[in-house]
Chain A
């Protein structure tokens, strides 16, 4: 099961990298969202995909590992904050410069 998960994560990273390397700002942001999805899954997978119950003491054990879940929970919230900020930044950039093409947004050589 872990190996299958790692393959899924690998595909996510591949696609995320490809999107980040394109020229459209929106695609780049979508790529970063995919990166965080991949990273979250990877953390969970590396923590070991136990077959235990949910980490609630009210259920019968053995429980699955609660620590990676706590880490991923934190990561989800942080990446949400960053994504929101990036989106608004893209929105402002587009408003200001009337383009989302990263080639056209690039600074002149003496900057």
Chain B
């Protein structure tokens, strides 16, 4: 156990004590106790930057289940450190924000902070672990914690719906990821990521390579809200706003991005990886930005914008994987660098925008942009923050979003130079989609700012009188917004050398010869390049479209997108069908009727018998043993068969009892013929007692009625019965024949020889019963005793009708 293990476990440990703080230190907001931890962790992790950016990963190992190759490895390289810093840094800011957002009174703060810390620890576990199984464990913990946080206000139906939806979708992806990890283990014999990466070349030829890739992508896409799994994210907006800011913009949704980036060295050489990641990313980018424009709720706009931006980062990772395909030609690195850069930028501006939305909600009582407007004069600071965040998101100079958007366009344009992948003919589609999506991004960014803060002030529609938020609530978004500007103005000083270079190094580990390091330099100005013209086009067209919004917004109604995302219909319908369908199946088989169940069993028995007989060719007939049968034996057999067959037709209970008695006595006669005197004796006695018992009961038993079932039902029963009977016959006949073919010496010879010598008895059957196999007899006596007790208690003991007391 090293200090780094403690970094991951510390949030869990603190979570244990949170309820105590909440209960016993009532005068202090519980959040203050929580705030300390991410701050300390952030400072500690900052110190690791020089080591990691030197190119040397930090590795620590702790045996967990060594026999299965599952070790709690901590592996910190540039990528892991970048994510860990985001998690702890934004975590600290979100906790600070939540202290002012959630009041001490009336909120279940102990729940909130326990879940939040659990999430933080799990997320740190995902990004810092070097072992796939450990990643999986923490991955599921993030799903769980996220679900708990979405359902934080569990008395609201929508919260519960959102929590369930996110749980179902992300856990589905989690399971598929587990399957993929297992496949990777099958291929490489290791759960250690670095060992797997070392074998990447061998894996590529394995038949399990593609299934493993698809499954891992399913896991990453569900977590990162890629189309069509994005539908859980807008519903997750029912969570408190600090949660949305933290989980659903900056951290958890980037777990999928992390996974794709982490696994890139294993899979990136394959063209399937390039296509799936970049096409899904591109489509998500377009779909998210297109749908964000029609939302009226601030948080919904931000949710769809998150989806869209995640799609952009995902597509950049996909496009960047072309570098692996082209022997790491430098021109394709741009996309990967852009992905990492935009990842950081998105966390900063989206975090602050969510906090702004939370402030607006907190101070006015609504997040609906139709009711908002003209808040600029009431909330100048919030307005400034929203301008910084939204303009960065739209990609306007001098904010950091401008730089990453430029690099995104560069990355997309670079793919046009590809000679493979049919890029000459369809590459322009990438550029077109990227540009259109950027236009829509610009429009919704403007909506966030101007529909909320400018225009007509409508006090009659607001519950509260709006005023500026308390300073504590503003600290976190101010810090994030300053980062937006700082990263925008001085990207190289703050990010390039410390974080982006090592992170890109982890995504493209074999891109450079050993010892060399990436050199990333981000310029805000690189001449009149095509991407600059594209950006100018985005701003011009975006402004025009924003100003004419009311004129073309009907397009959503025409496309039937104005109510809810069409994927939701599929999800809801599927869930509904799943419930009704499984109910139907259950009611079909679980009828509650005894004869149905017995029929199922019999049919299954027949099927198994038939399968066995056919598959193993087990039927055999040995005619040599037919032999000569004495005439009296024939008579006995025919009488027995005739008596048995009359049984179902008897409608009179006393006749039925006597008939079953007759069969029993005939059985005793068989025993006489087969030279079994003890059996005959016992059978006669038992049959007499049974018949007596029947007769005793019979007075109390109901009169037998004619079976009133449909003929079809009767015929089905008859067929099943015949099947069972014939099955038994075939088994009997075949096993007799088999026995004749392969004579084993019976163990009975031993009994015959030793009955007198060893046991001193001449009646072999009795000697076997009480001497050789005495335990059988003892237990059989026990059975009789239990049956007797059962009969006694059934008759004597009964519940009385009122109290359930024994009489």
Interface residues of A (CB under 8 A from B): 1-15, 17-28, 30, 33-34, 37-38, 40-42, 44-46, 48-50, 52-58, 61, 63-67, 69-70, 72-74, 76-78, 80-85, 87-92, 94-95, 99-100, 102-103, 106-109, 111
Contact = CB atoms under 8 A, between A and B. Distances in A.
B732 A11 contact: no
B690 interface: yes
A64 B683 CA distance: 18
A66 B679 contact: no
A76 B726 CA distance: 24
B629 A20 contact: no
Given A30-B647, A65-B748, A14 B721 contact: yes
Given A1-B625, A12-B644, A26-B653, 16 more contacts: A3-B625, A6-B728, A13-B725, A17-B720, A27-B656, A34-B647, A38-B728, A53-B675, A65-B746, A67-B751, A69-B679, A70-B765, A73-B769, A77-B686, A102-B594, A111-B592
Nearest to A20: B598
Contacts of A11: 641, 644-645, 725
Contacts of A40: 667
A3 B787 CA distance: 35
A31 to B, nearest CB: 8
A26 B626 CA distance: 38
Nearest to A70: B768
A5 B724 CA distance: 16
B784 A81 contact: yes
B689 interface: yes
A55 B693 CA distance: 32
A38 to B, nearest CB: 7
Given A24-B705, A56-B763, A6 B647 contact: no
A21 B599 contact: yes
Contacts of B783: 77-78, 81-82
Interface residues of B, number: 92
A43 B587 CA distance: 39
A69 B678 contact: yes
Chain A interface mostly: helix
A57 to B, nearest CB: 4
Contact of B674 (A64, A83, A100): A64
A51 to B, nearest CB: 8
Nearest to A10: B729
5 contacts: A3-B736, A37-B664, A48-B739, A67-B746, A77-B783
Contacts of B585: none
B595 A66 contact: no
A77 B736 contact: no
Contacts of A7: 637, 641, 729
A23 B704 contact: no
A8 B674 CA distance: 15
Contact of A34 (B626, B663, B676): B663
Given A27-B704, A37-B667, A72-B679, A14 B752 contact: no
Nearest to B627: A1
A103 B768 CA distance: 45
Contact of A91 (B598, B697, B728): B697
B755 interface: yes
Contacts of B693: 83-84, 87
Contacts of B709: 22-23
Nearest to A87: B697
Interface in B678-706: 678-679, 682-683, 686, 689-690, 693-694, 697, 700-702, 704-705
A66 B791 contact: no
A70 to B, nearest CB: 4
A72 to B, nearest CB: 6
Contacts of B769: 70, 73-74
B426 interface: no
Nearest to A28: B594
B764 interface: yes
Contact of B704 (A5, A24, A83): A24
B701 A17 contact: no
Interface in B752-777: 752, 755-756, 762-765, 768-769, 773, 776-777
A71 B625 CA distance: 24
Nearest to B593: A106
Q: Which of B739, B756, B784 has the most CB of A within 10 A?
A: B784
Contact of B592 (A85, A89, A106): A106
Listed from nearest, the 4 A-B pairs whose CB atoms lie closest are A14-B725, A81-B787, A10-B729, A6-B732
A66 B644 contact: no
Contact of B702 (A44, A66, A80, A94): A94
Contacts of B190: none
Nearest to A77: B780
B640 interface: yes
Interface string B407-441: 00000000000000000000000000000000000
B633 interface: yes
A20 to B, nearest CB: 5
Contact of A26 (B593, B656, B670, B683): B656
B735 A57 contact: no
A88 to B, nearest CB: 5
Contacts of A10: 725-726, 728-729, 732
B728 A84 contact: no
A89 to B, nearest CB: 6
A80 B721 contact: no
Given A20-B595, A73-B679, A85-B787, A100 B701 contact: yes
A92 to B, nearest CB: 5
A78 B627 contact: no
Nearest to B642: A11
Contact of B752 (A6, A63, A74, A82): A63
Contact of A64 (B637, B664, B676, B790): B676
B619 to A, nearest CB: 13
Contact of B764 (A38, A56, A89): A56
B660 interface: yes
Nearest to B732: A6
Interface string B721-752: 11011101100110110010000001110011
